[in-house]
Amino acid sequence: MRAILAGKGALPGLLLEAGPARLVRFSGVPVDVPVGGAPVGDVPGRDVPIYDVIEARFEQLGRLFDDLRAAGVSEVCLAGAMARPPLDPAAFDPFTAKLMPVLIQAMEQGDDALLRAVIGVIEAAGFPVVAAHLIRPDLVAPEGVLAGAITGQADAARARAVLDALGPLDVGQGAVVANGQVIGVETLQGTDAMLGFVARTAPGSGGVFVKRPKVGQDLRVDMPAIGPETIRNAAAAGLAGIEIAAGNVLLLDRDAILAACAHTGMSLWARP
């Protein structure tokens, strides 16, 4: 049995389609998958298998691990963005209270460090953590053109060079280059914020957006992803193409992405 630790976005739902699983929902974390008391089997246009929800709290990881064991869970996947809800000091179980010094220290080093620490805790509790694209390999793209045609290869190469330079600093899953000029570097605020910046400050550039994991990134943590909104925002920013890393960027989801490409005339390709 698999447990999906659910955050925002389409990914948890897409992973639930891959086979039997428990959906773990944390108190205070918004989830876009239907999570009523009843199992879900009627998402329009999708064949969602029946699943059960495990309600959890960040303050009670000890109880969560007990619940996972009781449900026969043998692997865990972190899926979707999780905000950090405020923690209730009165709610901690002893197991979690003991972990707090480690987690607080990790938190000071940023979200990725915190997630890596959380993965360490989960695996130490006996649950291997797997990346989403190992559960659903069809969510990533092999090398090749997905829509339109490869464009702006020199710009794409420059964007990759920027990402390669920033990767060791744990910064930058995306960059935009137009006519040899860097006009966008993705920061903590994410892809959509950067594309909005490009739309406002460098409209109509015809540039290329490159999205890749950071060099050496653990893909179980904050795996880069694009969705139809990414395509529409790139089009609104006046870009001509999007290059993603083959095998390493989630398409959430592919049909909607290809429809958005067709609608906007955006080119999209995957490169090793």
- Per CB under 8 A, residues contacting a second copy are 108-111, 158, 161-162, 165-166, 168-169, 171-172, 180-185, 187-189, 193, 196-197, 200-202
Which is nearer to a second copy, 126 or 203 (by Cβ)? 203
Pairwise CA distance, residues 7 & 25, whole Å: 8
Quote the least distance from Cβ 124 to a second copy, whole Å: 25
The answer to whether 111 touches 217, Cβ cutoff 8 Å, is: no
Distance set, CA 77 to CA 73, 119, 133, 189, 255 (Å): 11, 10, 10, 23, 23
CB proximity list for 8: less than 8 A, separation 6 or greater: 29, 30, 31, 32, 80, 81, 82, 83
Quote the least distance from Cβ 182 to a second copy, whole Å: 5
Overall size of the chain counted in residues: 272
Quote the least distance from Cβ 116 to a second copy, whole Å: 14
Which is nearer to a second copy, 24 or 106 (by Cβ)? 106
Which is nearer to a second copy, 68 or 118 (by Cβ)? 118
Helices 191-201 and 228-236, packing angle to 10 deg = 20
Which is nearer to a second copy, 81 or 161 (by Cβ)? 161
Quote the least distance from Cβ 21 to a second copy, whole Å: 32
